[in-house]
């Protein structure tokens, strides 16, 4: 493993200043993804700065009006079990419980979870094969290689990888915001804009820059939140990343969908909103399975499956349908 020094931060301003000024410094909280990246020789930091003692970043609180603020250092297991999360935003709790193992959920931070890097084997394996995320400009081996688990939406010739976080899909469906602090103050990044497209810089996963520190994720007060659901389809029952997943939040009036929010995981470089399906589903009866299916299919005309993952199109359509029906039953 690449040698590094370990420091501990207790003051957010000083931690941000150090991160901005020292290119070899990387923040670490739970480390459940970062340490794997170091072992895989994807990253080689000169210094790890432990930020677990930074004050005020581990809380879970209900905001005025019914929104939710989740501190970046809150542990996944604590958020999943929180009564407010379970009652008001069940999709968030479900997404967290479907992720990793109990031991990892006890360690992993919420800020680190949404910053996870792809699980593409060409990126993770130190086998010398081209990967634009590892070595910009080298090429994408998955484009014409083994791409069963890869994207069907939004990919480019430079990268066809998918984002692995489960809870990020729920956050995207609920229009969450990532709160980021740097030397200039604090800003709020809409979740839809937080993860970068694969072009022009496939090596970059998020909009974060040097000196940026995630402090929280805020979920706005949405009526749809209470009738939300997260569905994950994977190769095995536990401790596995999604082939496809769906987070759905709805309101229902007289048995018909009044408003719908759908995000999918396992299909793109970031959680992918099905905006066309959301519009087409409004007014459709929850009893009309054919109508629901047809409305969802409107989005998948834009799908571009690769050689080995064409099955994901139908699988994702079916997952979205099931998630809509389950969320609708909670309304």
Give 239's pLDDT tier (boundaries 50, 70, 90). Answer: confident
Of 116, 119, 114, 37, residue with least CA distance to 71: 114
* pLDDT score of 172 more than 90: yes
* pLDDT score of 1 more than 80: no
Q: What is the mean pLDDT of residues 83-98?
A: 97
At residue 151, the pLDDT reads 98
What's this model's pTM, rounded to 2 decimal places?
0.97
Delineate the domains of the chain, giving CATH numbers in brackets. Answer: 225-330 (3.30.390.50)
Give 168's pLDDT tier (boundaries 50, 70, 90). Answer: very high
At residue 2, the pLDDT reads 78
Q: What is the mean pLDDT of residues 255-276?
A: 98
User: Which pair of tokens denotes residue 255?
Assistant: 């048995």
Q: Whole-angstrom distance between the N-terminal and C-terminal Cα of the chain?
A: 51
Residue whose token pair is 């389809």 = 233
| pLDDT tens profile 135-167 | 999 999 999 999 999 999 999 999 999 999 999
Taking a C-beta distance cutoff of 8 angstroms, is the pair 38, 1 a contact? yes
Backbone Cα Rg of the chain: 20
């Amino acid at each position: 493993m690449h040698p590094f020094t370990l420091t501990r931060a207790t003051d957010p301003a000083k931690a941000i200043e150090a991160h901005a000024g020292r290119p070899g410094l990387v923040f670490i909280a739970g480390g459940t993804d970062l340490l794997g990246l170091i072992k895989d020789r994807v990253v080689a930091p000169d210094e790890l700065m432990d930020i677990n003692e930074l004050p005020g970043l581990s809380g879970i609180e209900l905001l005025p009006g019914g929104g939710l603020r989740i501190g970046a250092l809150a542990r996944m297991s604590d958020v999943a079990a929180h009564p407010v999360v379970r009652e008001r935003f069940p999709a968030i709790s479900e997404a967290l419980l479907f992720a990793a193992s109990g031991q990892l959920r006890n360690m992993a931070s919420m800020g680190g979870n949404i910053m996870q890097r792809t699980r593409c084997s060409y990126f993770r394996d130190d086998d010398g094969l081209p990967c634009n995320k590892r070595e910009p400009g080298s090429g994408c081996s998955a484009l014409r290689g083994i791409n069963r688990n890869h994207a069907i939406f939004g990919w480019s010739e430079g990268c066809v990888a998918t984002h692995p976080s489960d809870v990020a899909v729920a956050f995207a469906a609920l229009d969450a915001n990532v709160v980021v602090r740097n030397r200039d103050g604090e800003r709020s990044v809409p979740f839809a804009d937080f993860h970068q497209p694969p072009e022009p810089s496939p090596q970059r996963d998020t909009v974060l820059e040097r000196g940026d520190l995630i402090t929280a994720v805020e979920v706005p007060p949405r009526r749809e939140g209470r009738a939300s659901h997260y569905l994950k389809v994977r190769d095995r029952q536990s401790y596995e990343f999604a082939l496809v997943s769906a987070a759905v939040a709805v309101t229902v009036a007289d048995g018909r969908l009044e408003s719908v929010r759908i995000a999918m995981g396992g299909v793109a470089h970031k959680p992918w909103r099905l905006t066309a399906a959301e519009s087409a589903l409004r007014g459709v009866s929850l009893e009309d399975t054919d109508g629901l299916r047809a409305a969802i299919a409107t989005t998948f005309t834009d799908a571009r499956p690769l050689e080995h993952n064409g099955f994901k199109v139908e699988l994702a359509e079916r997952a979205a349908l099931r998630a809509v029906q389950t969320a609708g039953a909670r309304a």
